[in-house]
Chains A and B, each alone.
Chain A
Amino acid sequence: MIELKDVYKRFGQQIVLDGVNFTVKDGETLALLGPSGTGKSLLLKHIVGLIRQDSGIVRVDGKDVALLRRKELKELRSTIGYVFQNGALFDSMNVFENIRLGITDEDKFRDEAYAKERIEKCLTMVNLALDVALKYPAQLSGGMRKRVGISRAIAGAPKYLLYDEPTSGLDPVNSDIIDELVKSLSAELGVTSVMVTHDVRGAFKVADRLALLTGGKIVQQGTPDEFMKSTVPQVREFLERDFGNLTFAA
C-alpha cells in the first residue's frame, strides 16, 4: 500500500505540495490528474525517495520512506518500477543493457541466461520485437522509448509501478496502445500502480480510482463514476476541458 499523509513541500517561497493526502491500496491503479506544474511528478519522486518532503509522511509497504537507511531504501526501490516521462533510457547503452539494469536482484542481474530470458519476456509483454534489444535509444521512436522504459521498470518484477506521464507527447494511437499496456500489466502482474497524467480519457480507461491535484492539494479522489458526478469546481473544469459534453462521456 502507498500512503501519503499531509505531505508538504516548498521550493524557496513557492509552496508546491500543501498537505497532500491519498492512499493507493494493494493491486489498485490510481491516476493522479492535474494541470502541468502542480507537482504530480514531484509526488512520485517522494514515493520512490528521490526527494524528501518538508513535513508529512510518505509510506510504501508500511515503511516511512524518509526514515529509511540507504540499504533499506535500496531494498524498497527494488520493489518499485518507475517509468519516466521521456523514458530516461541510458543513451550509451542499447535496449538490452537498459532493460538489464532493471533487474534489481544482483545474482539474477549477473546470470546471463536469466537476464536474456527476462529481457525477451519483458519486450514481449510491451509488444516490442526482440530485435529492438540491439538498438540504441536514439534509434527508437517516442512510443518505443516509452515501451522500453516500461520494460525496464517491470524487469525486476516490482510490486509497485509508478508512471510519470506515460502518454505525453504521443499521438492518439500510440497513447491508446500505452494505456492498454498499463491496464494489461496491472491485470497480469497484479501490481499497485500510480499513473501521473493529464490525459483524462486515458486515466478513465486505465484507473480504478482517480485523484485531482491542484493548488498543492488533492481536491477530489474517487472512482471514475464518482469523479464524473463530482460537483467540485476544479474537477468540473478539468473534466469539461477534456470531455466537453460530460453527459456524452458518462
Chain B
Amino acid sequence: MAESTYDLIVIGSGPGGYIAAIRAAQLGMRVACVEKDSTLGGTCLNIGCIPSKALLESSERYYQAGHDFAAHGIQASGLGLDLAKMMSRKDGVVRALTRGVASLFKKHTITGITGRARFLAPNRLEISGADVQIVTAPRILIATGSAPIELPIARFDGKRIVSSTEALSLPTVPGRMIVIGGGAIGLEMGSVWSRLGSEVLVVEMLDRLVPGMDTQMAAQLQRALQRQGLTFQLGTTLKSATADANGVDVGLKGPKGVSQERADVLLVAVGRRPYTEGLGLDVIGLTLDERGRIPVGPHYETAVAGVFAIGDVIPGLMLAHKAEDEGVAAVERMAGVAGHVNYDAIPNVVYTAPELASVGLSEDEAKRRGIAVRIGSFPYTANGRARSIGETEGAVKVVADATTDRVLGIHILGPHASDVIAEAALAIEFSASAEDIGRTVHAHPTLAEALKEAALAVDGRPLNI
C-alpha cells in the first residue's frame, strides 16, 4: 500500500483547508490536501458562496430589467428568462474557480489527494478514493467544514424538499417556494427565486430575521424584501412536510395557530452542522461537543497533540473568511510565527438587495455588555452616489465607545455594503475612533462617504443631513 509522508496534511479543500495548505507551503512545509469531492474548493466554491453570488447577480439583473429599467428611460420588451443558461453561467464561474484552486496547488507544490480521510492514528490517515493510500504527517489539520442541517420531519429528497445545495440548481422556477429559515442563506436563496418569478414565503422561528445583526436594520431589510414581493411569517415553526409528485404540503405553527400551506419546493435553511462523518475521530480519542463541533485550544490544536481543526467544524461563526483566517493562523503557529485571528473584526454579510453587512458589536450587544456607547447613523437617501444609481434604501450605523470614541461596531444596510464594510473592519483592527473615520478623506461621490458621515454623526455633526 502506498504510503507517503508530509509535514502537514489538510483534510478538506474548502476556503479553510486550501488557504491553510497554501500558507503552509509558503512557510516551507510539504503539504498534502485531501478532498472527498471530485473538485476542490469545498462548500464555498461548489455549493455555497460562489454559486449563490453568481445567481444573486444574474437574478438581480433580471429583476432590474423588469422593474427598474423603465425609470432609467430604458425600454425593454420581450424580456425572457433562460434558466438553463443562467445555471450554466453559474457552473462556469464555479468551474473556473475550482480550477483556480487546483492551479494554486500546483504552483505551491501542494499534493492534492482525492478520497475520504480516516484517522488510523493521530499522525496517520487512510485515504479511500479510487484506491486506498496511507499518508502520515506529524501535523494534521481538520477542515472538513459543515453540511446543511436536515430536519427529521422534512428529510431532503432533492426535488421537493431541498437544502441550499439543490436550491442552487433547480431545473425550473418554482411557482411557489417556502423557505424555512430567515437567516442569510434563506433570504439569499429566497431572493434569487423571488426575482426569477417564484412566490416566496419565508418562515422564521424567531420574531426577527438575520439574528445577530442590527435589529433596526433587520427590520428595514424585511420591509425592503417585502416590497420586492417576498412574504414572511415570523415566530413560526415548521410542523410537517409531506412531498408528493407535484409539490409539498407544509404544516406551520405560528402566533395565530396552525396553518397548512402548499408549495412546489420547500427549502430548509435552518443552519449548518459541523461535518465530521467518517473521519474516525473516535479512533484517536477526539470527542465532539454538544453541537458536534471539535473543541480546540487557542492555537487551534485539538485535545490530541498534532491534530488541529479550523473553520465550520470548530465553534464560531460559520463564515468562509473566518475559516480562512483561522487556517492561516493555525499554520503560522505551527511554523513558529505569530498567527492570530481578531474575532472582533470579522465582517458578516447578507447578499440580498440591499446588502446587509456588519463588523464588531451591535448596539444591543454593547448595551448587554454594559458599555456606554454613542451611535451615529446616516441614511443612503442623503448620499449622492446612492441617489445617482437609484439605490437609496438603507443606512450606515457606527457604534462607538462613549468615553474613548473607539469604534466598536459598524453596520451597513445598502448597496455594496459587502465592500464598504471592508473599511470598517480595517478601522476596528486599528482601534480607530469614529473621529478618525470622520477625518479620513473619502472620495466623492461614493457609497463609502455614508460611512464617513455616520462617523461624524457619532459626534452629532454630520455634514449632509
Partners in one complex: no
Chain B positions within 8 Å of A, measured between CB atoms, are none
Chain A positions within 8 Å of B, measured between CB atoms, are none
